[in-house]
């Protein structure tokens, strides 16, 4: 079976022919990239380029086809509307002329699927780092669930905004990579919220640093160190949340050698496998469209001509993944052990205490790593105790050593919430978050792995032990733990981000996420501020994949 793929979401007019009897890496790809004379991508000029270039690249691909075409696949979105419409029109015309099925492919799902198929992994976590997008996904129960995403702009576009400020031509990412080779580290913002991240603050700080006379090579070096460490940390948090030990990289920014180095080093440090496709399958290309188109065709996922409109805001979690089985869902249940490796620490579990050690992360620059480990250790101790004072069940903090990144806690609960999800426990989390928000701070990373459930350990205080033994409803409790990403704030959006992070973790680890999310939000509405839920709806509706 031979599939003709056509890509044209933004800058690359591309066509490919994939023969399903061959390895995907052998697909013929012809690409004609749009290069703006100055600044970033101009939608009208990009669409004009598509109109001119698509016929040429399609003709070149068809000339290489060793036999008839059995289907036409095209990038249906996300992307620039004028470009998508040009490609959609071409695909419909070709499918009609050849009298073959038409397949509409989500561009971002194609980025991760080409890596998954080439890697041979069973069910990896997927990090997509491209121009207009940045997100972490895992497959669960028929869809790719968004475990984390950018809250403002895509990683490639963020780098482009900085280089446009310098007057450098598009694309900016390779130029930042080149300049960074001679740079030294300077302090820039680092923003991770659970498994979400934000690039706007660091880009503004980078522009200011350059304008204030910091050498451009130092700013570029530090941009890479911070931005890519943020992506790598979030990818590790997703591995920890789901229990996966496989990571796949996708997207054009994935061509950056420093990003690949960080991801490989992180995976090696935690005993996970990492795969990055060859560069031609990382940048926008029709090969990935053809390969995924073939999978969708086998699953019977085709389009009628009159129902094949493009979607500039086509999110990957909107795609019904009919080519994979539910048995491939990414979340894995792991039994409790005496030593647990989390996203940023190892946890030794004793009979009555838990010792948490934030070990150095070799993928991060030493100055950045030292700062994060120290600051997060201090905040975790402070906010864990503060939440307890607000009536939220948390472990008692027995000892803290910021220099070593070590904390000793009371042992609480019997298992992670991930392995003991019920509507009542989801409601508990809603009430607990409402309580700390009312006190003026956020948890920062309230995932189903950072909540403990079940009986508490052996309380050291006799009065607490007597209360626990005598009161059944206090013997089985829901505890918030791991406040390392928390901070004080009075911003409703920060509170909404706590809710957003918890909802994403339900999507990635629960079979009945919708019902659990409803219970969680209902409890928050009863105990907290409705304005925060309104802000949550705004966060969820931003449609970052465009």
Q: Enumerate the active-site residues.
A: 445
The answer to whether 387 and 480 are in contact (CB under 8 A) is: yes
d(CA 419, CA 448): 8
Q: 545 with 133: CB under 8 angstroms?
A: yes
Pairing between β-strand 28-33 and β-strand 125-129 as defined by DSSP bridges: unpaired
The DSSP-derived string for 242-303 is HT--EEEEESGGGG-HHHHHHHHHHHHHHT-EEE---HHHHSS-HHHHHHHHHHHHHTT--B
CB atoms within 10 A of CB 22: 11
C-beta of residue 449 within 8 angstroms of C-beta of residue 336: no
Count the neighbouring beta carbons within 10 Å of the beta carbon of residue 389: 9
C-alpha triplet 433, 481, 418: angle, nearest 5°? 85
Q: Point out which residues pair with 126 in neighbouring strands.
A: 137, 248
Token pair recorded at residue 85: 């419409």
Within 8 A by CB and 6+ apart from 239, the residues are: 125, 245, 247, 267, 270, 272, 343
- Neighbouring residues of 191: CB distance < 8 A, sequence distance ≥ 6: 197, 198, 199, 201, 202, 230
Tokens representing residue 147 in the block? 């475990």
**Half-sphere exposure at residue 401, Cβ-oriented, CA atoms within 13 angstroms:** 10
- In which order are the strands placed within the sheet that holds 346-349? 339-341, 346-349, 353-357, 406-410, 397-401
Residues 6 or more apart in contact with residue 4 via CB below 8 angstroms = 15, 16, 17, 58, 61, 62, 65, 69, 71, 72, 73, 94, 290
Q: What is the DSSP string of 305-354?
A: GGG----TT--GGGS--TTS-GGG-S-------SEEE-SS-EEEE-SSEE
Instruction: Compute how many other C-beta atoms are within 10 angstroms of the C-beta atom of residue 262.
Output: 23
> What is the C-alpha separation between 128 and 142, in angstroms, rounded?
19
Task: Judge whether 20 and 34 are in contact, CB under 8 Å.
Answer: no
For residue 435, how many C-alpha atoms fall within 13 Å in the half-sphere facing its CB? 19
Cα→Cα distances 482→176, 207, 428, Å: 35, 34, 17
Residue 251 CA to residue 283 CA, distance in Å, equals 6
- Residue 100 CA to residue 78 CA, distance in Å, equals 24
Ramachandran assignment for 120, one of left (phi > 0), alpha (psi -120 to 50 degrees), beta (any other)? left
CA distance 7 to 133: 16
**Segment holding 104, helix H or strand E:** strand 102-106
């Amino acid at each position: 079976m031979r599939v003709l793929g056509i890509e044209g979401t933004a800058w690359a007019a591309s066509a490919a022919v994939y023969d399903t009897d061959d390895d995907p890496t052998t697909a013929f790809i012809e690409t004609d990239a749009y290069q703006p004379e100055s600044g970033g991508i101009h939608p009208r000029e990009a669409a004009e380029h598509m109109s001119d270039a698509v016929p040429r690249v399609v003709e070149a691909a068809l000339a290489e086809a060793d036999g008839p075409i059995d289907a036409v696949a095209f990038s249906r979105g996300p992307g620039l509307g004028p470009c998508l419409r040009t490609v959609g029109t071409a695909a419909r015309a070709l499918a009609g002329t050849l009298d073959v099925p038409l397949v509409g492919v989500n561009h971002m799902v194609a980025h991760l699927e080409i890596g998954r198929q080439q890697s041979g992994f069973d069910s990896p976590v997927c990090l997509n780092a491209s121009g207009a997008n940045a997100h972490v996904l895992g497959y669960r129960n028929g869809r790719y669930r968004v475990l984390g995403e950018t809250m403002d702009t895509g990683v490639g576009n963020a780098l482009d905004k900085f280089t446009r400020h310098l007057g450098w031509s598009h694309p900016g990412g390779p130029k930042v990579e080149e300049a960074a080779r001679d740079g030294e580290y300077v302090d820039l913002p680092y923003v991770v919220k659970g498994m979400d991240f934000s690039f706007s603050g660091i880009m503004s700080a980078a522009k200011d640093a350059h304008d204030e006379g910091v050498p451009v090579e130092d700013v570029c070096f530090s941009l890479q160190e911070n931005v890519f460490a943020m992506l790598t940390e979030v990818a590790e948090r997703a591995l920890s949340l789901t229990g996966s030990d496989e990571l796949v990289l996708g997207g054009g920014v994935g061509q950056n050698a420093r990003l690949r180095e960080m991801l490989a080093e992180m995976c090696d440090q935690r005993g996970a496998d990492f795969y990055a496709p060859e560069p031609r399958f990382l940048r926008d290309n029709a090969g990935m469209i053809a390969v995924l188109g073939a999978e969708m065709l086998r699953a019977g996922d085709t389009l009628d001509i009159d129902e094949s409109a493009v979607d500039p805001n086509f999110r990957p979690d909107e795609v019904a993944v009919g080519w994979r089985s539910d048995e491939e869902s990414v979340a894995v249940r792991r039994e409790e052990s005496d030593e647990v490796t989390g996203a940023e620490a190892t946890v030794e579990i004793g009979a009555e205490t838990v010792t948490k050690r934030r070990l150095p992360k070799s993928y991060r620059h030493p100055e950045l790593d030292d700062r994060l480990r120290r600051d997060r250790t201090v905040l975790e101790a402070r906010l864990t105790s503060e939440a307890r004072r607000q009536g939220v069940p948390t472990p008692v903090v027995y000892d803290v050593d910021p220099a070593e990144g070590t904390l000793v806690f009371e042992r609480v609960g019997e298992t992670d919430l991930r392995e003991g999800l019920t509507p009542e426990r989801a409601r508990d989390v809603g009430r607990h978050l409402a309580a700390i928000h009312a006190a003026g701070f956020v948890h920062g990373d309230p995932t189903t792995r950072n909540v403990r459930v079940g009986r508490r350990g052996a309380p050291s205080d006799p009065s607490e032990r007597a209360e626990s033994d005598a009161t059944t409803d206090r013997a089985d409790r829901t505890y918030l733990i791991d406040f390392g990403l928390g901070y004080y704030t009075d911003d409703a959006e920060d509170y909404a981000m706590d809710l957003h992070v918890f909802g994403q973790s339900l999507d990635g680890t629960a079979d009945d996420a919708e019902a659990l999310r409803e219970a969680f939000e209902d409890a928050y509405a009863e105990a907290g501020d409705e304005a925060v839920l309104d802000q949550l709806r705004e966060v969820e509706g931003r449609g970052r994949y465009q």
